[in-house]
Amino acid sequence: MNTGTFNPPEIDYLAIAPILIIFGTAVLSVLVEAFVGRTARRPVQLVLVIGSLLVALYFVISQAGTRTITANGALVIDGPALVLWGALLVLSLLGAMLMAERTLDPSGDVFAARAAALPGSEDERQFTQRGWVQTEVWPLFLFSVSGMLMFVAANDLLLMFVALEVMSLPLYLLAGMARRRRLLSQESALKYFLLGAFSSAFFLYGASLLYGFSGTVSLPGIAEAISAKPSQGPLLILGMALLVVGLLFKVGAVPFHQWTPDVYQGAPSAVTGFMAATVKIAAFGALLRVMYVAFGGIRWDWEPMLWVIAILTMFVGSIVALVQTDIKRMLAYSSIAQSGFIMLGVIAASAEGLSASLFYLIAYGFGTIGAFAVISMVRQSGGEATSLSAWAGLGRTSPVIGAVFAVFMLSLAGIPLTSGFVAKFGVFAAAIESGDTWLVIAAVVASIIAAFFYVRVIVLMYFSAPAKEPAVVAVPSAFTTIALAAGVTVTVVLGIIPQPLLELVANADVFLR
């Protein structure tokens, strides 16, 4: 054992500035929650959140082209990390806008006035009546975003585990804070938490076995150990399998998807939109890094496993979505199916696969956050109209929102002239190039099945008579409008002129080792 002098790690503070900014603001935001007066709290928090996201985004853009490994090899800032940071920050900004909305619901905020109060109690009623809204969602939101940024840049398993928890723990709480249907919301928080903690235990145990195999927790170190040792042994394979289970849980791949529909349905739509878009990006970013950097040398061992999981994910997601009657639940199964498609890019294990996955994640993120923005606007007397039957005829009663939602559905289905088509084409092409033709054929079949339920919503909106109790589209404030406009613009623009983003993700290069 080396018991030498202590060498402080060299940290490139400029390169990791985005993480530090968001993390620092999150701490500041906790203090605001404690010390700023009740009325001033919300505006101060909003300025902090939006300001810090924009400043962090500026730092990401300003250091485009940086390729460095810092903090003693724990953090790596390379092309994919920067692209993912940019995507995460922009989508978090849109997510924050959805969460800040308070004109859609007649009683105000999206979140419970006081999450700790008993649903239906006098305590809760008084809080709501006086409009004393807690703003603890904002520090939680910022901590979660900082965890995501760390997660996609983590170059060793310890930091990855810590980042995974920093990202997830606040999300468990956010899922349980809906103002309406609080029992559903709390139930989803419990399920998300228990299953999330379960899966991170798998991740950690896998990491410990890999440490036992290689004597290090750093991803490049594991790759070195794999190439240095002639026999691989059970430690490596078992450790890798457990580690990947933990990551696949976060992306919602079958058979680790059970939490997805419940959480998507129960959580407030604003949180669902934010989480659906960003957690998927962060988790796939980490999965790609682990697979490409640490396990690139034994791709023949993990590819069959991911083949099976990808096919299961695509088909179970698409087929179960066909029979859903709740729109949020349907989109949850749709997100499961989309995970299966993105996994094609992971399985391709090539530079093309990586850039195609990045493009897919960005296209998916904007489409999803936009779709959930629409869901938060379509309302009935009891809150959001999530039952599909209430959406009948919506395209005729409110043509604009109907058309916008149709664009998102077409994009998720992968119809040409939307971002979804370019994205699907990219991952399919990358997978074929790597010789996974049969997998692509299965994916095409799955995406045809998936197209059914996306188109079913459009048919329902345009060609059905309005329901007895039709949903109405509430007029949103500027917040949701901006998020929705950004979502639909990106979806259409990436469908028509994808070239700039395609070049960007192609220039992102490969992971730095």
Q: Which residues contact other proteins (rule: CB under 8 A)? A: 1-2, 115-116, 118-119, 158, 161-162, 165, 169, 172-173, 176, 182-184, 186-191, 193-194, 197-198, 201-202, 204-205, 207-209, 211-212, 215-217, 261-262, 265-266, 324, 329
Long-range contacts of 494-499 (CB under 8 A, 24+ apart): 494/362, 494/363, 494/366, 494/418, 494/419, 494/422, 495/411, 495/416, 495/417, 495/418, 495/419, 495/420, 495/421, 495/422, 496/417, 498/359, 498/419, 498/422
DSSP 8-class letter at 54: H
Give the nearest distance from C-beta 188 to other proteins in angstroms. 6
Give the nearest distance from C-beta 259 to other proteins in angstroms. 10
Report d(CA 249, CA 245) in Å as an integer.
6
Report d(CA 123, CA 118) in Å as an integer.
7
Q: Which is nearer to other proteins, 42 or 114 (CB)?
A: 114
* 446 within 8 A of 340, measured Cβ to Cβ: yes
Give the nearest distance from C-beta 170 to other proteins in angstroms. 8
Give the nearest distance from C-beta 239 to other proteins in angstroms. 10
Q: Which is nearer to other proteins, 120 or 304 (CB)?
A: 120
Q: Which is nearer to other proteins, 194 or 441 (CB)?
A: 194
* 361 within 8 A of 280, measured Cβ to Cβ: yes
Q: Which is nearer to other proteins, 214 or 434 (CB)?
A: 214
Give the nearest distance from C-beta 183 to other proteins in angstroms. 6
* 249 within 8 A of 195, measured Cβ to Cβ: yes
Q: Which is nearer to other proteins, 202 or 405 (CB)?
A: 202
Q: In degrees rounded to 5, what are phi and psi of residue 111?
A: -100, 155
Q: Which is nearer to other proteins, 219 or 346 (CB)?
A: 219
Rounded to the nearest 10 degrees, what angle do helices 137-153 and 79-100 cross at? 170
Give the nearest distance from C-beta 254 to other proteins in angstroms. 16
Report d(CA 32, CA 48) in Å as an integer.
10
H or E stretch at 153: helix 137-153
Q: Which is nearer to other proteins, 206 or 420 (CB)?
A: 206
Give the nearest distance from C-beta 274 to other proteins in angstroms. 18
**Token pair of 294 as six digits:** 């640490």
**Token pair of 115 as six digits:** 């999450």
Q: Which is nearer to other proteins, 176 or 495 (CB)?
A: 176
Give the nearest distance from C-beta 202 to other proteins in angstroms. 8
DSSP 8-class letter at 457: H
